[in-house]
Amino acid sequence: MRPVAVGPQVGVELTETPSGGALMVLSGALDVRTAAATRREISTQLSGKTFQAVEIDASRLEHGDASGMVILYELTHGRFTPGVLATLRGLRPELEKLLQAFPPPADVQAAERHAPRKPIAVEVGAATLGLGRDFLEVVAFLGRLSIAAGAIIRRPRWLRPSELARVFEKAGANALFIVSLISLLTGLIIAFEAAQPLKTFGAQIYIANMIGLVMVRELGPIMTAIVFAGRTGSAFAAELGTMKVNEELDALRTMGLDPTRFLVIQRVLAGTLAMPLLTAYSMAMGILGGVIVTKLMGFPLALIWKQLTSALGLDDILFGLVKAVVFGTVVSALGCYHGVHTRQGPSAVGDSATRAVVSGILLIIIIDAIFSVFAFALDI
């Protein structure tokens, strides 16, 4: 048979011997560039034929690498010719070394064995136990937080005011722009959306009442808390998580400094202080948005002001701010909790930040629902 050139550099020549065997002569370069084409060519030439034995003459192979030698490995292990292991002769010593580096098939199989899948009951059990463990860890974390808070009340210099101020600035002041934008637009959107249906009843002036109540009691605290969870909760988790991965938390512990007292307390306190301030600001911006729309509809400012003050009481504002304090504490503490419980590995910090945000938002909504039920029951 005429040698068939596959690609630019390798030749495969198959001759049948009288004894029912085959002689395959390979020539040229069998490497990463030619291996795939060579495999195809060999498969084509061998297809539909059965041989008693296959001999490969590799003496004319001039160049090769591991990706090329894999073809020879497969030939000599009978992948192309089921049941017949090809014999190899004439391979250059340097290529022989490459081929010898291949592990024996038994080792390959051993390495390919995947970890056995666990029964579903075991998986469910492990997950349940994991949930229980997580709960215990949260309780332990709250305990440590309380102890650290107690220690700081006794020794205020442990509070590290400079760190508190730095975190407070990042969590509070630096969030003003995004809180402004979101609150103002929320106020505008609600006012616009409400204008149409209220117009039917000639009750457009009540937009002011509605915006006031909605922003102060619900949307101000909720929107700010969600922004806070996304900006600050995740930042706390990532910051402490990176410190955990870099063994900085371990370094603190071995220096006799409790990370909860040294790092966590400042963040929780800063969050608790920043959230009501941001929320008050958000309430004002939201109402401003509503006022702008009402004014655009032609109502005088004095009338709008009268409507607002008649609808809103001090108790409404306090209700919103108390919620904000709770949200601030919870979101900051969750961020820190996920930060100090960061696991090892390259995606661990990202996972912690995600968990901090997701659990933060979830708890915000749950706590808000509880507040609403109590407020309804107590008629606040």
Verify binding: residue 65, another protein, rule CB under 8 A: yes
Total of residues contacting another protein (CB under 8 A): 30
Q: Which of 8, 20, 90, 103 binds another protein (CB under 8 A)?
A: 103
Verify binding: residue 80, another protein, rule CB under 8 A: no
Question: Within 13 Å of residue 79, how many CA atoms lie on the same side as its CB?
Answer: 12
Q: Considering only CA atoms, which of 329, 353, 359, 144 is closest in space to residue 240?
A: 353
Residue 215, amino acid:
M
Verify binding: residue 78, another protein, rule CB under 8 A: no
Q: How far is the CB of 343 from another protein (least distance, A)?
A: 9
Q: Which is nearer to another protein, 110 or 139 (CB)?
A: 110
Q: Which of 2, 347, 376, 377 binds another protein (CB under 8 A)?
A: 347
Verify binding: residue 70, another protein, rule CB under 8 A: yes
Q: Which is nearer to another protein, 31 or 239 (CB)?
A: 31
Residue 242, amino acid:
T
Contacts of 216 (CB under 8 A, 6+ apart): 283, 287, 312, 316, 317, 319, 320
Q: How far is the CB of 348 from another protein (least distance, A)?
A: 9
Q: Which stretch binds another protein (CB under 8 A): 103-111, 121-129, 230-238, 263-271?
A: 103-111
Q: Which of residues 110-129 bind another protein (CB under 8 A)?
A: 110-115
Q: How far is the CB of 111 from another protein (least distance, A)?
A: 4
Q: Which of 73, 80, 228, 236 binds another protein (CB under 8 A)?
A: 73
Q: How far is the CB of 86 from another protein (least distance, A)?
A: 16
Q: How far is the CB of 74 from another protein (least distance, A)?
A: 7
Verify binding: residue 315, another protein, rule CB under 8 A: no
Q: Which of 74, 163, 316, 368 binds another protein (CB under 8 A)?
A: 74
Q: Which is nearer to another protein, 284 or 348 (CB)?
A: 348
Distance in angstroms (rounded) separating the CA atoms of residues 230 and 89: 66
Verify binding: residue 351, another protein, rule CB under 8 A: no
Q: Which of residues 131-170 bind another protein (CB under 8 A)?
A: none
Give the per-residue contact string, 20-39, with another protein (x = CB under 8 A; - = no).
Answer: -----------xx--xx--x
Residues at the site binding another protein, with contacts judged by CB under 8 A: 31-32, 35-36, 39, 65-67, 70-71, 73-74, 94, 97-98, 101-103, 107-108, 110-115, 344-347
